[in-house]
Structure 1
Amino acid sequence: MTELPADVLADIHELVSCESPSDDLAAVARSADVVARVGTRRLGCEPERIVLEGRTHLRWRLGEGPPRVLVLGHHDTVWPLGSLATHPSTVVDGVLRGPGSVDMKAGLVVAFAAVAALEDPAGVTVLVTGDEELGSPSSRTLIEDEARGCAAALVLEAAADGGALKTTRKGVSLYRVAVTGRAAHAGLAPADGVNAGVELAHQVLALTALGDPDLGTTVTPTASAAGTVTNTVPAQAWVAVDVRVPDAAEQDRVDAAVRALRPVLPGARVEVTGGPNRPPMEAAAALLDRARAVARGLGLPELRGASVGGASDGNFTAGVGVPTLDGLGAVGGGAHADDEHVLVAELAPRLALLTALLADLLADVADEPAGPADGGRR
């Protein structure tokens, strides 16, 4: 197996050492500058900077022909500014740590190094977005447009347990259910009010009942609030709802049911906002088989596929019909948590796998005509 280039760890340290919480536009812009610098060193050319709704995304389109393989990642993280003070970027006993290390700055460096190792990277697009942790509100259309016409999308999110590739992801819908009641004095005239908190409780129970454990559908009320002061019947209440579904039919079923919610208490009103955020990512069996063949050719352990509940931008690429493999990034664990880490020994095999898979895909599509979706993209 090829040794890990020494500067890979230095590049990861450089990215991790620039904090990039998604909700801080200035921090994301600073991070984009660092990612652009690292990527330019590797790829030999500057990216296009695409600023949408104040968020900075980076795109490298390599070669003169149409894009044929999309390499996709993000540089924003969930960690707030100041996290490096308590979670510094370190490598100890073969474990690399730091905020955003496994999700997914190490994956970005693996992507840059793999594309740079190709004899001819023409046809590869590397897209690094800056709002994935928020649900990609500004970058979704960009991602979908870059994916259309490609033979494959390779997503550099962290691997699943044991280094497995992520072959299916649940679809995600996000809602806010707001209740309006009528305020009244809680001691003098509670019956004169319409208790928005009680109505919200009815709605939470109705929402929870929409889940289907047998199918893997979860409907989870999360953040909520009701009322203002302790001696007043609450006139307002709300709850956020996180929905995860295995397929499009379930996403449609739950969406219709949530929008059909009606108040239980006389005089209460219920308003539903939000909806589907990411479509389900369905398995691309042929692409997984291809990756397995490449891994065997490299002498790597047999690749496994895994189905996961979390969503990524791979949901969008799969949603427009592009075969997608996710989890090609770092092997480690603890994403979003205090123990976030990368296993350094797994970086070289991951880099070799991605490089060989890219070369194999590019060789296969080199003589194919561009699809109709390519028209007008340049």
Structure 2
Amino acid sequence: MLEDLRKLVEVESPSCDLEALSASAKTVAAVIENRLGGQATLIHSEAGPHVHWSGGGDPKVLILGHHDTVFPLGTLERRPFMVQESHATGPGVFDMLGGLVQAIHGLAALEHRSGVEILVTADEEVGSRSSRALIEERALACGAVLVFEGAADGGALKTGRKGCGTFRVSITGRASHAGLEPAAGVNALIEASHQVLDIAALGRPEIGTTVTPTVASAGTLDNVVPAEATVIVDVRVESAEEKGRIESAFAALAPHIDEAEITVQGAVGRPPMPESASTELFAMAQRLLPGLDGAAVGGGSDGNFTAALGVPTLDGLGAVGGGAHADHEYIVVDSMAERVNLVTGLVNAIRASRET
């Protein structure tokens, strides 16, 4: 497993870098074919190649993951793949190359692979716009989805996820000289300040809704009334009702300053993954590994899409570790074999349940 993990980590795969993602997809396909046989197909898209493999027969379970990472080219030189004191480190080991390796080796231990599909996408980290339709198609065809994102704290599986989205609020004002005639301008920065307060007030953390302005920009020079400003907002919700409320509230944002104009782009693009979507599969996992915990988490994944379709979905089956998207990212090597055995058992249990 560590040999395969090294192969994947050492082919850097930042989202949106088509050349790098092409090389990464070929490496993922080669590892799959080497361990499982058959042929992995590269499905080309504007975001880079997705990798699809099938064990044949009637589809019953979809193994879902992604090979793009958040780290820019050159990260590997600064932070190479290493294994020390039972931790493996390197860009993408936890999110989510370690999970891919565990999934592949779990399937390799099966007596037969009929009914199993693997889909490894190229754009999960940037919203899955090119892969969503394919993910949904294969999820509906298979009827059960196992997602190999990294585990929650302590190795818990992810039994629910918030819906998440990003909104971009653009404010247009009018420039003027800040010293000679400031009143002739329409200050987009002041309007943006009003909007930030209005937007932050939309949050309802007591029911799981967080609305967090995260990035803002305005102005050009220190003596010019700013004519433009932009605010980026991260949104997380636990219910479809809150998704609708938040999207309506952003659409209804209105300027406070005369002649200022507001344009809003964005949506809660990943619907919530309710815990009910994982009930059946999580019960199977607990029978295989007694004492296994589950957790609902704030981050989103492609499992949000499959759960929203009503397809049973269990997430967090990937590596045990931490530090996703950070320089201290790591996985716990000693936990890998146990998770591989869980994959094998889960796939067998799902296939058996679909045959009765």
- The alignment's TM-score, normalised by the length of structure 2, stands at 0.98
Quick check: 1:285 aligned with 2:274? Answer: no
State the secondary structure of the residue aligned to 1:88: coil
* Correspondence for 2:240: 248
* Correspondence for 2:330: 341
Counterpart CA distance in 2 for 1:276 and 1:220 is 13
Cα-to-partner distance string for 1:74-129 (whole Å, 9 max, x where unaligned): 01101111111121101111111110001110111111111121112111110000
Quick check: 1:115 aligned with 2:107? Answer: yes
Aligned length: 354
State the secondary structure of the residue aligned to 1:35: helix
Quick check: 1:152 aligned with 2:144? Answer: yes
* Correspondence for 1:313: 302
* Correspondence for 1:299: none
Counterpart CA distance in 2 for 1:185 and 1:120 is 74
Counterpart CA distance in 2 for 1:40 and 1:80 is 27
Following TM superposition, the consecutive aligned residue runs of length 4 or more in structure 1 with deviations greater than 2 angstroms are none
Which letter maps to 2:316?
A: G
Identify the match of residue 200 of structure 1 among 186, 192, 210: 192
Post-superposition shift, 1:133? Answer: 0.6
After TM superposition, list the pairs within 5 Å mapping 1:1-378 onto structure 2: 8-65=1-58, 67-283=59-275, 284-296=278-290, 302-366=291-355
Post-superposition shift, 1:58? Answer: 0.5
Cα-to-partner distance string for 1:302-345 (whole Å, 9 max, x where unaligned): 11110111111110110111111000011011111111101010
Q: Is the 8 A contact 1:73 1:127 kept in 2?
A: yes
Cα-to-partner distance string for 1:277-321 (whole Å, 9 max, x where unaligned): 10001112122111111223xxxxx11110111111110110111
Q: Is the 8 A contact 1:12 1:109 kept in 2?
A: yes
State the secondary structure of the residue aligned to 2:44: strand
Post-superposition shift, 1:52? Answer: 1.2
Post-superposition shift, 1:61? Answer: 1.7
Post-superposition shift, 1:366? Answer: 2.8
Cα-to-partner distance string for 1:198-256 (whole Å, 9 max, x where unaligned): 00110111000000110121111111111111111111111111100011111111110
State the secondary structure of the residue aligned to 1:148: helix
State the secondary structure of the residue aligned to 2:94: helix
State the secondary structure of the residue aligned to 2:262: strand
Q: Is the 8 A contact 1:94 1:343 kept in 2?
A: yes
Post-superposition shift, 1:54? Answer: 4.3
State the secondary structure of the residue aligned to 1:154: strand
Q: Is the 8 A contact 1:173 1:251 kept in 2?
A: no
Identity of aligned residues (%): 53
- The alignment's TM-score, normalised by the length of structure 1, stands at 0.92
* Correspondence for 1:3: none
Counterpart CA distance in 1 for 2:142 and 2:29 is 23
Q: Is the 8 A contact 2:166 2:233 kept in 1?
A: yes
Counterpart CA distance in 2 for 1:56 and 1:150 is 21
Counterpart CA distance in 1 for 2:225 and 2:143 is 58
State the secondary structure of the residue aligned to 1:79: coil
Is there any run of 5+ residues in structure 1 with no aligned partner, and where? 1-7, 297-301, 368-378
Root-mean-square deviation (CA, aligned residues, Å) is 1.0
Cα-to-partner distance string for 1:158-208 (whole Å, 9 max, x where unaligned): 100111000011001211100111111100000011100100110111000
Counterpart CA distance in 1 for 2:104 and 2:283 is 24
Post-superposition shift, 1:145? Answer: 0.8
